[in-house]
Structure 1
């Protein structure tokens, strides 16, 4: 009898370890093979694989920012609106004749400011980030429509397009930007004291505070990173599209949250890896690309995204409970 109980416990422990380490990668491999088979091989062509990475670069960028908010057992619903507003401001500066580097820096700085605004409101009000970022999402979206007068902005300098959306050594620049940012954030979470403190706060905020960790300071930092990531995504987006759309980024918070949760980040905080989020973003890209190849209507993608979020959170809750 004891042997059976121990065996059962060992199975649960093995599943928990497997899911935390390889679950996301297993999902990606399964989807790639499955869609590759039913699409008669077109899905697995080198050209389409590159396209998947290119399409996933925006999702990966905003998902990495979302990762830091969820790591604290919070959330950032404003990432899509921040992406639109920062991209629009950079586009306005570019069309006004500002140097490319200045326009890019202004967009990134604005992303930092908007992220700090979110973090400051969370700290000062004590409200859950869901409420705060739901409100700031509407504020930022409204500001985007006012500044743009609900019109697209286009006519960027060729050097901007070539620099941000071109190809370097055969690799699309947006992919390079996304992977480089992921590598930097991965290093930050693993090798710095501030990065490790974020995990501690997400695991148990009160315990972290009693151990001398400045909870509010790190909360502000997490939202600043989220805003910066969304700003970077906004700049990459306008370079890829050749225009800044006032309605850009609508629904992207769903992609960011889905990528983060599917990537193995616990919705309850304290657990997650940046490279898992990258794989989660690729899963979203594979699904969207595969459904398009199979001529499945785009609105079915929302059903798939929602289902994946529910399944991933349930598995996270199930594994945590069995732990």
Structure 2
């Protein structure tokens, strides 16, 4: 009888442990996304059609990868303003290799991603070893990368032939860019949660001094986050080129702001040490749904920017409230 009562008491205690308020705090990004989906489906009959949903994922495959790359940089306490320009490098380099040199699109993609890696390492070295502020270092890289893209194309978009990069968005191959983006999101979510690299990136953003005193070479880890952002940004640029069948030096303009916004909406702290891959993806989708539903309702583009700005402010305000609530708990 005593054991039975003890078991019942433990069961009651377990049920009492569920904190609804804490649940809302921990999952606010997902809840916002769900509410937005419901509202959008009520506002437009075409929102939940398979074509519209597919178009959203095709459009966001690239920006989601950029946001994930930005997240790891932000978690170290840094910022990367060059991601949009590196997207342009990825788009132009791959397009030129395919069009002018007759290279198969797969090795062309690898070369373009390697160039993105170089730009990422360049930014990371300036920040970690040159003691540059992330804002200044990546601002310089942003200008250089954009300039390289314009020089490579001579300011003229490169038109891709049918049957090259457009295979990445082909229905016949089950829309590879969606599959690739989903696979990379899963991989990086697992890396963040289960690997030493993922945990140390967060630790560096939380308390870099303590990590250094533990004998860990933080500079290598900081550089690696910028390298990841560079590779993912170049791949995102390739995705844009695949969708438009054009490699343009104007690809990715302003994308750094959307990536930062996605991270912030996903609960990442710009001071570092806090962020989640899955929530960042949800943040990117929130921005995408806002733009999508406004397009379906024929809202002009300029008011869309105003609304996005207000949403970013609201997201930061929500983050502040969340931090206060967590401290209170």
**How far is the alpha carbon of 1:318 from its aligned partner?**
2.9
- Which segment drifts farther, 284-293 or 310-319? 310-319
User: After TM superposition, which residue ranges in structure 1, 4 or more long, deviate above 6 angstroms?
Assistant: none
- Does the residue aligned with 1:296 lie in a helix, a strand or coil? coil
- Does the residue aligned with 2:250 lie in a helix, a strand or coil? coil
Q: Does residue 269 of the first structure (1) align with residue 263 of the second (2)? A: no
Q: Which has the larger radius of gyration?
A: 2
Structure 1, unaligned runs of 5 or more: 1-12
Q: Does residue 55 of the first structure (1) align with residue 59 of the second (2)? A: yes
Whole-Å Cα distance in 1 between the matches of residues 161 and 75 of structure 2?
37
| C-alpha spacing 1:110/1:157, structure 2 compared with 1 (3 Å) | farther
Deviations 1:166-206 (Å, cap 9, x if unpaired)?
Answer: 2367x422211111110111111112111110010111111
Aligned match of 1:9:
none
Counterpart selection for 2:263 from 250, 254, 260: 260
Aligned match of 2:170:
166
Mapping for residues 1-323 of structure 1, pairs under 5 Å: 15=21, 17-20=23-26, 22-39=27-44, 41-95=45-99, 96-156=101-161, 158-162=163-167, 164-167=168-171, 171-322=174-325, 323=327
Structure 2, unaligned runs of 5 or more: 1-18
8 Å Cα contact 1:91-1:156 kept in structure 2: no
Whole-Å Cα distance in 2 between the matches of residues 51 and 307 of structure 1?
25
**How far is the alpha carbon of 1:307 from its aligned partner?**
1.9
- Does the residue aligned with 2:215 lie in a helix, a strand or coil? coil
Whole-Å Cα distance in 2 between the matches of residues 15 and 44 of structure 1?
30
Deviations 1:84-133 (Å, cap 9, x if unpaired)?
Answer: 01210111100121122221110111111110001001123312211211
8 Å Cα contact 2:165-2:241 kept in structure 1: no
Whole-Å Cα distance in 2 between the matches of residues 241 and 172 of structure 1?
14
8 Å Cα contact 2:75-2:201 kept in structure 1: yes
- Which segment drifts farther, 68-77 or 303-312? 303-312
| C-alpha spacing 1:99/1:55, structure 2 compared with 1 (3 Å) | closer
| C-alpha spacing 1:201/1:168, structure 2 compared with 1 (3 Å) | farther
- RMSD over aligned CA atoms reads 1.8
